[in-house]
Amino acid sequence: MIPDRDLHLDLCDDNDNAADKPEEACGVFGIYAPGQEVAKLTYFGLYALQHRGQESAGIATFDGQQLHEHRDMGLVSHVFSPEILAQLPGQLAIGHTRYSTTGSSRRCNAQPVIVETKLGKLALAHNGNLVNTAELQQYLLAKGCELNTTIDSEMIALVIREEVNAGKGWVDATISACQRCVGAFSLTIATPDGIMAIRDTNGIRPLVLGIMPDHVSHYVVASETCALDIIGADYERDVKPGELLWITEEGITAIEWAPKAEPKLCIFEMIYFARPDSWVHEESLYSYRMRLGKQLAKESFHAADIVIGVPDSGIPAAIGFSEASGIPYAEGLIKNRYVGRTFIQPTQEMREAGIRMKLNPLRDVLKGKRVIVIDDSIVRGTTSRKLVKALRDAGATEIHMRISSPPVTHPCFYGIDTDTQDQLIAATKSVAEIAEQIGVDTLAYLSWEGMLSATERNPNHFCSACFTGDYPVEIPDGIKRSKLMLEIGARG
């Protein structure tokens, strides 16, 4: 039986080894392109989305009524080979790459999810997280459904199956299922007749539509525009919040399944998760992140010799800070870009050496310098403390840390892997206390207002609950209690 809790957000109990950044859950991809090698195109799309998840990867294709699929644990390049891709023929495909969450790193949880219906098989890939899993679980168990995974994505697929088996077509069944789902979901769904792309009523997780330039009837959907770029597709538009796209041999049909949709894109997608070369709101996220740095310089200037960014996500903001402040930008940290997740645990002595397996300071750049360090966020503070020690060991005389987002004080329930509230350093300590704990001379965060104003968009069209606790989708009490430790304690 699936526990009554947030299924995607299992937590790491090892405080030393837990991630010190919020982690995205998944990347999704879908393509309708008869006559093309859809499996290979999907492979490259997932390759571009690898930053969104490194646990598992999968592709499902349809060749008429026949479904072909391959899923396994590991990176996209490890899961698929030319021989495997050759065994995935078809005119349409969807793909998925998933972030590893402790306790659920099993092959059965790899997506796409496959279910059998009376209209044929259905494959579903999901990015996001539902908050009404207990309700859906009760509904499905009452229907006699067997749950084979520990992910809410399977529940969505099973609800669609129930609606199809009750006599509805693919689109109507999917709309009915989505109306039962509460939370964040961007979906790509493959059927024998076509593919669907759907976003929840708030569009919390991203999803975009592209067109293959030499084949105007060939469409692509993906979590980010970088997955369109890699296969040469042209960005057409975002899938709207509360919208379903149905793509078949007859073309594309857009349906507003949730007329009262209200955009609430996750602001962390713009700050950190999405690749800097992905486009949101008609510009690259590199440009937005530079503006964050410029705003940060206006709000928290400090005299220094150089500005450095923490690779990779802190670099655009560092460049923006440098431009606005007039302090020279320098590369003070070199990232080993070939280091992924390792299952070989370092010794305690190696751990104490810091984080140099991934980041190594440039001593001749840092020695004798007053340094401003730009990072995108501080979640637990463990990585920041090790980083600061490494910079001091390299000879930096002063370290002034600047964060290009506000303090993270509340956990996410919509598909981001964050700690319980009592493990979020900014929820329990003041800025001065955090500065002391991580060992910097000064520390400053970007203001919430500055973060939103830098979007140059309607600030009400973003979810920033991790900074404010103002959740756009109501969270059931049982799930709240699992993460909002401080609020529960205060009320008790």
Indicate which residues carry an active-site annotation.
26
Tokens 């960014």 belong to 309
Q: Which amino acid is at 384?
A: S
Among 48, 2, 56, 10, which residue's Cα sits nearest to residue 29? 48
Tell how strand 359-361 and strand 333-335 pair up: antiparallel
Cα 344 to Cα 17: distance, rounded to the nearest angstrom? 12
Whole-number Cα distances in Å, 122 to 171, 181, 190, 294: 12, 18, 6, 47
Q: Are 24 and 52 in contact (CB under 8 A)?
A: yes
Question: Which neighbouring-strand residues pair with 444?
Answer: 402
Diameter of the chain measured on Cα atoms: 73
Give just the sign of the alpha carbon dihedral 47, 289, 239, 232: negative
Cα 462 to Cα 281: distance, rounded to the nearest angstrom? 12
Neighbours of 370 (CB within 10 A): 16
Cα 439 to Cα 152: distance, rounded to the nearest angstrom? 41
Report the run of H or E that residue 209 belongs to, with start and end: strand 208-212
Q: Are 410 and 427 in contact (CB under 8 A)?
A: yes
Among 344, 422, 356, 430, which residue's Cα sits nearest to residue 15? 422
Residues 6+ apart with CB under 8 A from 328: 305, 306, 307, 322
DSSP line for 36-48: S-HHHHHHHHHHH
